[in-house]
Amino acid sequence: MMKIGISCYPTVGGSGVIATELGMLLAEQGNEIHFITSSLPFRLNRVNPLIVYHEVDLNHYPVFQYPPFDLALANKMAEVIDREKLDILHVHYAMPHAICAILARDIAKHDVKIVTTLHGTDITVLGVDQSFKKMITHGIEQSNAVTAVSNSLVKQTKEMLGITKDIDVVYNFVNENEYKKKELSGIKKEYGIKENEKVLIHISNFRKVKRIQDVIQTFKKVSHYIDAKLLLVGDGPEYSNTCQLVDSLGLNDDVLFLGKQKNVSDLLSISDLKLLLSEKESFGLVLLEAMACKVPCIGTAAGGIPEVIEHNETGYIVDVGDTDKAAEYAVQLLQDDALRKQFSQNAYNRARKYFHSEIIVNQYLDIYDRVLARN
């Protein structure tokens, strides 16, 4: 049994999902889990006496021009390390969480080991603001172990920061009890989708990097040949631009904006194909969620996506921006029932073989054991 603290961004997003699901699975195995976050992690939906949530509270003193959230987090981490005698503090993102953890380790009296998981956002920050380079490098170098969610992210991190420290690749996983194909044909009808119509789906936080305009353009081309609907799940900065594009292409009747949704596996269960055409993506957790629900995927040759989709087996990989090719593959798959059935089974098999939660949780446990043995 270990005592593990976990810090992540608790709001919607793949890193928060992974951190929370990991904590819940570790607790099911008898480990004591302490979430230290700014609000209740949105995926924390199971009661377990071994899970405790510590909220980081921040007083707004007038002397501070900017409320020092990161310091408040480090302070809370140090308190929890000492009070609960944590063995491991597992933080998601080098910046700010690893930096806060390092400060907390310095402040705390009890010895704790820091494990940092990189999800790609540190690299995105660096791409925009090189002045954070020293800070992110420090977070990585001073962690007792560092993991990244794809080989591509390890390579990119090492290239951009010039670090030589070992980074373990630990892929993402899904909760298989939730992400499975369900027989829910009734939902199609509820959304006004005809039985013969194919369903394409895109799920994201509508950030620019997701290139939703390419999803729409691909769908437009597909809809010349196939009766289909496109489900857009999520919300974010590109929402209005996406609405405008859909409108200008005359696709209002065929593109359904569903906003943020909780039961994504239900929507995946009625989907025939998933599109993720991002220009940056360290893993693409939504792809794995789709694969677990037997949905083949078309993704771009960006970041870790080609490590998740096996081209020509579980879906297709296209160059970023190549909507002609994406549409060609989509039409090929949607017109051929036997091929789609094969791809959907392959996708499911691949999700279980390489990304099963049991495999991934054991990899994290091995890393915890390794850093604790270095005492």
- The residues in 304-363 that bind ligand GMT, with binding defined as CB under 6 A, are none
Amino acid symbol at 340: R
For every residue of 113-179, which 3-state class applies, written as one string? Answer: EEEEEECCHHHHHHHHCHHHHHHHHHHHHCCCEEEECCHHHHHHHHHHHCCCCCCEECCCCCCCCCC
Q: Which of 37, 142, 269, 282 binds ligand GMT (CB under 6 A)?
A: 282
Q: Can residue 13 be called a binding residue for ligand GMT (CB under 6 A)? A: yes
* 255-259 sheet: strands from edge to edge: 255-259, 228-233, 198-203, 273-276, 297-300, 315-318
Shorter beta-carbon distance to ligand GMT: residue 7 or 223: 7
Length of the chain: 375
Q: Can residue 208 be called a binding residue for ligand GMT (CB under 6 A)? A: no
Q: Which of 7, 15, 143, 147 binds ligand GMT (CB under 6 A)?
A: 15
Q: Which of 89, 108, 149, 275 binds ligand GMT (CB under 6 A)?
A: 149
Q: Can residue 175 be called a binding residue for ligand GMT (CB under 6 A)? A: no
CA gap 111, 215 in Å, rounded: 49
Q: Can residue 41 be called a binding residue for ligand GMT (CB under 6 A)? A: no
Shorter beta-carbon distance to ligand GMT: residue 264 or 285: 285
25, 67, 262, 358 from 46: Cα distances, Å: 10, 32, 15, 18
Q: How far is the CB of 204 from ligand GMT (least distance, A)?
A: 7
List beta partners, residue 116.
Answer: 91, 146
Q: Rounded to 5 degrees, what are φ and ψ at 224?
A: -70, -30
Q: Can residue 205 be called a binding residue for ligand GMT (CB under 6 A)? A: yes
116, 285, 295, 346 from 266: Cα distances, Å: 32, 16, 12, 20
Q: Which of 21, 281, 307, 310 binds ligand GMT (CB under 6 A)?
A: 281
In contact, 3 and 87? CB cutoff 8 Å: yes
CA gap 126, 133 in Å, rounded: 6
- The residues in 113-142 that bind ligand GMT, with binding defined as CB under 6 A, are 119-121
Task: Please name the residue that has the structure tokens 């420290």.
Answer: 165
Q: Can residue 280 be called a binding residue for ligand GMT (CB under 6 A)? A: yes
| Contact window for ligand GMT (CB under 6 A) among 25-33, 183-191, 265-273, 279-287 | 279-287
Q: How far is the CB of 105 from ligand GMT (least distance, A)?
A: 23
174, 205, 216, 329 from 280: Cα distances, Å: 21, 13, 18, 21
Q: Can residue 147 be called a binding residue for ligand GMT (CB under 6 A)? A: no
One symbol per residue from 222 to 251: x for binding ligand GMT (CB under 6 A), - otherwise; what is it? ------------------------------
CA gap 148, 47 in Å, rounded: 29
Q: Can residue 163 be called a binding residue for ligand GMT (CB under 6 A)? A: no
Q: Nearest-CA neighbor of 317 among 327, 328, 305?
A: 305
Q: Can residue 18 be called a binding residue for ligand GMT (CB under 6 A)? A: yes
Q: How far is the CB of 194 from ligand GMT (least distance, A)?
A: 32
Q: Can residue 300 be called a binding residue for ligand GMT (CB under 6 A)? A: no
Shorter beta-carbon distance to ligand GMT: residue 255 or 285: 285
| Contact window for ligand GMT (CB under 6 A) among 42-50, 94-102, 203-211, 327-335 | 203-211
Shorter beta-carbon distance to ligand GMT: residue 10 or 14: 14
Q: Nearest-CA neighbor of 226 among 341, 327, 342?
A: 327
In contact, 367 and 168? CB cutoff 8 Å: yes
Q: Can residue 91 be called a binding residue for ligand GMT (CB under 6 A)? A: no
Binding residues vs ligand GMT (CB under 6 A): 13-15, 18, 119-121, 149, 172, 205, 207, 209, 280-285, 303
